[in-house]
Amino acid sequence: MVQVQLRVPDNMVKDIDGWVEEGRFKNRSDAVKTIISLYEDKMKTMEFLKMLVNRSKEAENNPEKLIPLDDLDVKSSN
């Protein structure tokens, strides 16, 4: 691993320290790594959503080749 130095506003450090005290994270480093990982996951999800929207538009424009997402009978896993 590489050690990095970063500057963050005092209120963010207080929030992170509070989360560490609550036991949500082992330490500040764990909190920052987890937050960055969650952000990366969010960006991947947004890219996937964009792909799905584009794919659905393609299906509308080329119905003979693709099935629109709205036409799929997909059950939620909830």
Q: Looking at the domain assignment, is residue 3 inside a domain?
A: no
Q: Looking at the domain assignment, is residue 1 inside a domain?
A: no
pLDDT band at 45 (very low <50, low <70, confident <90, very high): very high
| 25 or 54, greater pLDDT | 25
Q: Looking at the domain assignment, is residue 76 inside a domain?
A: no
Q: Looking at the domain assignment, is residue 77 inside a domain?
A: no
Dihedral Cα 43, 48, 54, 58, nearest 10 deg:
170
Report the number of distinct structural domains present in the chain.
1
HSE-up of residue 14 (Cα within 13 Å, Cβ side): 3
Q: Which domain holds residue 42?
A: 10-71
Q: What is the chain's mean pLDDT, rounded?
A: 89
Q: Looking at the domain assignment, is residue 55 inside a domain?
A: yes
Cα distances from 7 to residues 1, 11, 13, 73, in angstroms, run 19, 12, 10, 49
Q: Looking at the domain assignment, is residue 25 inside a domain?
A: yes
pLDDT of residue 67: 67
Model pLDDT for residues 1-29, shown as the tens digit of each residue? 899 999 999 999 999 999 999 999 999 99
